[in-house]
Each structure stands twice: as structure tokens, then as C-alpha cells.
Amino acid sequence: MRRYVLHQLPKEPKTYISILFASLLTIVAVYIFIQIGEYIQLTFKVFTTDKAYISYFITPVIFALIVFVDKQYFNFSGGSGIPQLIAANDSRNRTIRSMLLSIKIALVKMCLVFLAMLGGASISFGGPSVHIGGSIFYHLATLIKLKRKLMIHSVIAIGGSAGLIVAFNAPLAGFLFAYEEIGRSLKKQALILIAISCGSIYLFFNYFFSSDLYLIDLSQYTFELMHIWQLFPLAILGGVLGGIFAKIALILLSKFMFGGTSKIISIAFIMGLIVASSNYLSDSLIAGTGQRETIMLLTGDKLGIEFVVLKYLSTLASFLSTIAGGIFMTSISIGASIGSEVSYLYSQVSPQIVMIMAMIAYLSGVIRAPLTSSFLVLEMTNSLNLLLPAIIVAFIANMTSKQISNKPIYESIAHNYLQLTKIK
């Protein structure tokens, strides 16, 4: 057994040195990326406060510009970034992997996300951080000329996990993300190296930077498992809404991604108009990741059903435009707002518990990764004591979403990227 396990680990010291160096570089790069992105996001909100009509002049143009730059000069730098990582990990072709993951792609990704934030897009940093981490790790793997396919794919998965860990300060979710999403085709034994690396990355991150929760501490809230049946409708609702989001996205992206450049740019402009309308109607409340709004909801503020609708539409439009940007935090903010709106129906459950479960249910419905969804939200809120009900809710939402959209959203888009690499 010991020999079997050791066989899955790197044999050369340079591989460990490379992983260590890539970890440190990813931590610094993603941390700086998020700090700048949050500042730009705030700049847009401050600039458009009480004059959100400006979004009509900014957002569509910026959306079209981002897609033009992506399609014309830097293919595969747009979108979430997670599908590119999955596609690279599914491919055994080095040329395809290099098209999807590179230092150039990582740098362009950062700049395009900054531009999208400046345009008031409803996007988050999770997916791009995963793409940046995967690109850095893969680049260093090529520099040391890794040969074993298992090691190459493991390193890519570690990079993606590192990006998620730094973005949300969530080590368990980062590891499970490698298991559920990035490393679907990896041999399970590779998870030993990934687990060790994720733990090390988390320790490095907390040593060099702040260990603050991404949201707020809700560890004081508890839930009696005997009342779990009360959460079933909430889990189904989250699964339905998340499944509809994924279904619409996959149907339309399958048409948008394979169109000509001018057609894709026109679609991005139209999606930008939809987001601009949402910004105007919400006074720019829906712009950005939704982190601030989620904290407001968790501390007792009410944003109204209009926030749910506008954040849902603007996130979908931003995603369909294929601009650079993720959907992790935006989905969590939608889930929190859903939970806030239905919490009055739960007289025996605190509103914060309802919101936590709604966040997990909706995110699981969208990305179809129930373990990642559960641990990500629980780590964000320091509420791992709710793990058992959270997992039950996540799996119900996942099964519900599957009835609407059979194939997971990232896996389907990854297949599209593999098709596009063959065209290029």
C-alpha cells in the first residue's frame, strides 16, 4: 500500500520546488488581483451612485471591447476560466493545454476582469482566480519539463485549487473543487498530492496575508437535524433556479461561442445593455461580486425581491456575454437574497440559517458540485457546525438541478472550448 501511494507522488526534488514556487507566486498574484479588482468595483459603484444612467454609456461598450480583445488577440482568456482549466486537464495534447493555460493568458485575464468591473458587470473573482492559478502552475510545469501525464494534470488541478483557496480563504472547498470539478478524470490517488499542496497553500496564505473570513462569522447559529425536512422546499427552489440558470446559459452559449467575431461582439453589446438596465434600476447595487450585499443580507438588511431578479438577470447576461469573470460569489449573493426573501416562512429557523442553506442550494444548482458548494459557503461564514444539513440541502439541490440541466455547466463549456481549440 505504501509503495502504491508513493508511486503517485513526484520522484524528483525539482517538482516539489516548482510546486512550492508556483504556490507562492499564485498566492501573491491572486491576492493582488483581488485587491485591485475590489478597488475598481468600488470605484464604479461610487462613480455611478445617484447617476446609474451612466452605465448605459459605459457597460455595453466595455462588454463589446472585452470580447473584441479576447477574440481578436487573446483567444480563451474570456469567460469564467474554470472551463478552460477543465478542458486543459481533459486534454492530452500539449498544444491545446498551452492555448488554454499560460502566463500571458493569466495576465490578460486579470486586465479583462478589471475592465469588466469598471463596466459594472455582475461577475466575481473565483473563476478567474482558478484560471490564473492553473496557468501559473502549468507554466512552471512546462519549464521543468514534467513528463508524466498524472503529474501534469495534478499540477493543473493544484493551481486551480490554489486560486480558489486564495480568492475565498476556503482550503477545504479548494481541495474538494479539485475533486469534483477540475480533476474529474484524475486518478483518485492524485488527490494525496493535491491535498498536501492545498494544505500548504492555505498555511502560506494565512502566514503572509490576512485570515479574515470572506463573509462574516455565523458560527453561533445552530440547527437541529430533526427539522431538516423544513429545508427541503428551499433546497428544491435553489436547485430549480440554479438549474434554469445553467440550462439557459448552456443553450445560448452553444450558439454564441461558435459564431463569428462580429456576431459575438454584437451579443456582448446587447448583454451589456441588459446589465446597464439592471444597474440603472438598482442604482448600481447589482454591479460587482455581491460580497458586500451578501454581508448586508446576513446582518439583517432587506434588499427586496427586485434585487433577486436584477442580480439573477445581470449575472446571466454577464456570463452569456463571455466577458472575463466568474459566477461563484454572484451566485452566492443570489442565494442569500432568495433566502432573505423566504426566511419569514421559517418561524422555527433563524433567517441566517435559511440564507446559508439558500446560498448552498442555489450555488449547487448552478455548478452541480454539492461538496464544493457546501464547504465554500460554510467556510466563508465559519459555520462548519452546519455541515450535515448543508450537505443534505446541497445534494437535493444538485439532483433537482440535474432534472433541468443534465450536464454540469463547467463540464459542458469545457467541451466547447476543446472544440474551439480544434477550430483554431
Give the pLDDT confidence of 173-223 residue by residue, as tens digits: 999 998 888 766 666 667 788 888 999 999 999 988 877 889 999 999 999
Rounded Cα distance between 192 and 194, Å, is: 5
Instruction: Clarify whether residues 231 and 337 are in a common domain.
Output: yes
pLDDT at 28: 95
Do the domain assignments include residue 218? Answer: no
pLDDT band at 345 (very low <50, low <70, confident <90, very high): very high
Residues 127, 76 share a domain: yes
Q: Is residue 217 part of a domain?
A: no
**Residue with grid cell 444612467, as numbered in its chain:** 53
Query: What average pLDDT does the chain have?
Result: 90
For 288, counting Cβ atoms within 10 Å of its Cβ (0-12 exposed, 13-18 middle, 19+ buried), the class is buried
Give the per-residue pLDDT at 186: 66
Q: Looking at the structure, do residues 273 and 199 belong to the same domain, yes or no?
A: no
Q: Is the pLDDT of residue 298 over 70?
A: yes
Residues 283 and 373 in one domain: yes
CB 284 within 8 A of CB 313: no
**Do residues 40 and 65 both lie within one domain?**
yes
- Check whether residue 59 and residue 113 sit in a common domain: yes
Q: What is the pLDDT averaged over residues 36-65?
A: 93
- Contact residues for 342 (Cβ-Cβ < 8 A; gap 6+): 234, 237, 354, 358
Q: What is the CA radius of gyration of the chain?
A: 20
Return the residue matching grid coordinates 439583517: 300
Round to whole Å and give the CA distance between 408 and 404: 11
Domain span at residue 355 reads 225-423
Q: What pLDDT is stored for residue 12 in this prediction?
A: 74
pLDDT band, residue 423 (cuts 50/70/90): low
List alpha helices for 343-386, DSSP H: 351-367, 370-380
Q: Is residue 306 a part of any domain in this protein? A: yes
Residues 50 and 194 in one domain: yes
Distance in angstroms (rounded) separating the CA atoms of residues 179 and 391:
16
Domain boundary among 145, 176, 208: 208
Residues linked to residue 124 through DSSP beta bridges, in sequence order? 326
Distance CA 417, CA 322 (A): 12
Asked if 221 and 383 touch (Cβ cutoff 8 Å), the reply is yes
Query: If you count DSSP H runs as helices and E runs as strands, how many of each does the chain have, helices first?
Result: 19, 0
pLDDT band for position 363 (50/70/90)?
very high
Residue 326: strand, helix, or coil:
strand
Mean pLDDT of 60-82: 91
Q: Which residue, of 208, 233, 268, is where some domain finishes?
A: 208
**Are 183 and 270 contained in the same domain?**
no
pLDDT digits over 351-362, tens only? 999 999 999 999
Report if residue 270 sits inside a domain: yes
- Specify which residues 326 forms β-bridges with: 124
Sequence-distant (6+) residues with CB within 8 A of 303 are: 285, 293, 296, 297, 337, 340
H-type alpha helices, 257-350: 261-282, 291-298, 305-320, 328-342
Number of domains, the chain:
2
**What does the block give as the cell for 5?**
501511494
Do 243 and 203 sit in the same domain of this protein? no
CATH code assigned at 183? 1.10.3080.10
Q: Is residue 406 part of a domain?
A: yes
Q: Does 408 lie in the same domain as 292?
A: yes
Both 82 and 124 in one domain: the answer is yes
Alpha carbon of 377 to those of 33, 67, 82, 168, 200: distances in Å?
22, 31, 19, 9, 21
Long-range contacts of 88-96 (CB under 8 A, 24+ apart): 88/134, 88/138, 88/156, 89/153, 89/156, 89/157, 89/182, 89/183, 89/185, 89/186, 90/184, 90/185, 90/414, 90/418, 91/418, 91/421, 92/149, 96/418, 96/421
Last residue of some domain: 183, 208, 233? 208
Within a domain: residue 213? Answer: no
> pLDDT, tens digit, for every residue of 217-243?
999 999 988 889 999 999 999 999 999
3-state secondary structure of 211: coil
Q: Which three cell numbers stand for residue 237?
A: 427552489
Of residues 99 and 393, more confidence is placed in 393
Answer yes or no: is 307 within a domain.
yes
The answer to whether residue 148 is domain-embedded is: yes
- 399 pLDDT tier (thresholds 50, 70, 90): very high
d(CA 59, CA 225): 46
| Cα end-to-end span (Å), the chain | 45
**Would you say residue 325 has pLDDT above 60?**
yes
pLDDT higher for 73 or 383?
Answer: 383
- Considering the domain architecture, whether residues 296 and 158 belong to the same structural domain is answered as no
